[in-house]
Amino acid sequence: MPLSMNREVFITCAVTGAGDTVSKSSHVPITPKQIADAAIEAAKAGAAVAHCHVRDPDTGAPARRLDLYREVTDRVRSADVDVVLNLTAGMGGDLLFGNVESPFPVNEKGTDMAGATERVEHVAQCLPEICTLDCGTMNFSLGDYVMTNTPSMLREMARQMTALGVRPEIEAFDTGHLWFAKQLVEEGLIEDPVLIQLCMGIPWGAPDDLNTFMAMVNNVPPSWTFSAFSIGRNAMAYPAAAILAGGNVRVGLEDNLYVGKGQLATNGQLVEKAVSVVEGMGAKIIGPEEVRKKLKLTKR
């Protein structure tokens, strides 16, 4: 893919995620109302897409409960602002081994393994316009934790998403994930237009240096639509890199808690800063209706 700046950019806001961030910032939304309000706030600030996880309302821990997804979905859809709803389908593949000498039995407290149908059940119930598909297995930051997504699991999840008429957003954390994503498309399990998110800087996937980022970008077929983000200190530099490379932008409290050094952010503030970067580079922000047309999404 040749380097070509994107002149019509959409912003995705990942409003809460599943990470251990609740104790680090009071702005991280926890309850369905807070998560929906964060999505609405992001939309009013300029985000066309809201990417949502759900959390246990009492503890803030990541959750997969259908009732929580339904409440978030209903609240967002009944809001006075339009936004494309993107629900995660990344939960249910968490494997935490015992320790380095005795990996089995696994640590039940940190392990959450579910079948393909269960992992996609909230998508079938809520029918968002987009849902994510983490396109590979990865050693994900913590010592004995593995994010597991086998080829068979991903094929079945992709098949179910496509059958539901929900656009998968492929999440690629390394080059091998891109390779398998192309295979899913070749097999007809993911249909055009293909949407992919390049997830940079997450230990231990693809680092977020520009050489690695461009290696990822250069492996994205020209007909695909991509966004990109990094986490932590480089999160607010990545909107410029993504646009310059021909992509779209993702920000939000799932990826980064700060709008400036020592300044805890809200989702709206992160979107506002991304908007200023996009417009400062001479590009145009496109809204949810333009995104739906571009990605052939079904609004519900």
How far apart CA 205 and CA 82 sit, in angstroms, is 34
Q: Strand 84-87 to strand 49-52: parallel, antiparallel, or no bridges (unpaired)? A: parallel
Q: Strand 138-139 to strand 145-147: parallel, antiparallel, or no bridges (unpaired)? A: antiparallel
Per-residue pLDDT tens listing for the chain (300 residues): 446 899 999 999 999 999 999 999 999 999 999 999 999 999 999 999 999 999 999 999 999 999 999 999 999 999 999 999 999 999 999 999 999 999 999 999 989 999 999 999 999 999 999 999 999 999 987 789 999 999 999 999 999 999 999 999 999 999 999 999 999 999 999 999 999 999 999 999 999 999 999 999 999 999 999 999 999 889 999 999 999 999 999 999 999 999 998 999 999 999 999 999 999 999 999 999 999 999 999 998
Q: Are 279 and 270 in contact (CB under 8 A)?
A: no
Torsions phi, psi of 292, nearest 5? -60, -45
Cβ-proximal residues to 223 (8 Å cutoff; 6+ apart), any chain: 192, 193, 194
